Amino acid sequence: MAGIVVFGAGGRAGRAVTEEARRRGQRVTAVVREPARYPGLGADGVSVVRGDVTDPGSVAGVVGGHVAAVQAVSPFSGPEQGFDSLDPEFFARAADALLEGLAGAGVHRLVAVGLFANLVGADGRAVMDDPAVFPVEIRPFALAHAEGLRRLRKASGAGTGTGGAADVDWVMLTPPARLEDGAPRTGRYRLGGETAPDDTAHLSYADLAVAVLDEIEAPTTHRTRVSVFNSGAPVG
């Protein structure tokens, strides 16, 4: 295969995807805004480049010649960061830029990492709408993330075969609330639907990366958002 592009390769999800790709012998172009901040990111089979996931020209310039792209960028590290610097349009602009840039470069597979808060709870509401489950103070970030998903769905609604953004075959894989850094790779996971999995759901970043690479190498899910998780007692 011609390799993949990972936007947000410096974050936890992006690093896990990069490592899983290397494990499978994939060539990786790791995209970050400031390569100098990530001196340890480069490795055999990994090229670290500067790029902007919200700029269609930057996306197109990076993805050409690859088989797929991964969107693992997050501008928000947690409540302690505050929301003064949060761009509510970030994920919408990223979705638009990815669709336009990938289509222009002839790359048709996009795997995005979703947000648990935007799955549907047992009561039929988005998890982010239930203050007993999801902190109200983080809701602006969840709303921004949901707008990115809406943009992807809007492009799909235009129909395929047009030669434009609608022809990008995207999937959003949404991990559970218990997304565990440092937990072992089991190579196992389950794909669900739009509904949030139950309270036993958990997933390691390594197994999230397994799911991402599987959906690149042998796609099973197309132009939709699904949950990805393990259940029962975590391994290790």
pLDDT digits (tens, 9 = 90+) for 120-144: 998 999 999 999 989 998 899 999 9
- Say if 12 falls within a structural domain: yes
Q: What is the pLDDT of residues 73-113, one digit of tens each?
A: 988 655 555 666 778 999 999 999 999 999 999 999 999 99
235: Cβ contacts below 8 Å, ≥ 6 apart: 183, 184, 186
CATH of the domain at 87: 3.40.50.720
Q: How many structural domains comprise the chain?
A: 1
Q: Does any domain span residue 236?
A: no
Q: Return d(Cα 203, Cα 188) in angstroms, integer.
A: 9
Residue 11 lies in a domain: yes
What pLDDT sits at residue 83? 60
164 has pLDDT over 70: yes
What residues contact 14, with CB distance under 8 A and at least 6 apart? 6, 7, 8, 30, 70, 72, 73
Amino acid at 173: L
Look at residue 113 and tell me if it is in a domain: yes
Q: Choose between 169 and 39: higher pLDDT.
A: 169
- Is the Cα torsion angle 234, 115, 22, 12 positive or negative in sign? negative
Check residue 12 and give its pLDDT: 95
- The torsion region of residue 182 among left (phi > 0), alpha (psi -120 to 50) and beta comes to left
Domain assignment of residue 26, yes or no: yes
On whether the CB atoms of residues 138 and 118 are closer than 8 A, the answer is no
End-to-end CA distance of the chain: 33
Q: 183: which DSSP letter?
A: P
Q: Which residues contact 132 (CB under 8 A, 6 or more apart)?
A: none
Q: Is residue 235 part of a domain?
A: no
CA distances from 90 to 35, 57, 102, 110, 147 (A): 20, 16, 18, 17, 9
pLDDT tens, position by position, 225-235: 999 999 876 65
Mean pLDDT of 190-216: 97
Residue 234 falls inside a structural domain: no
Q: Residue 38: which domain range?
A: 4-229
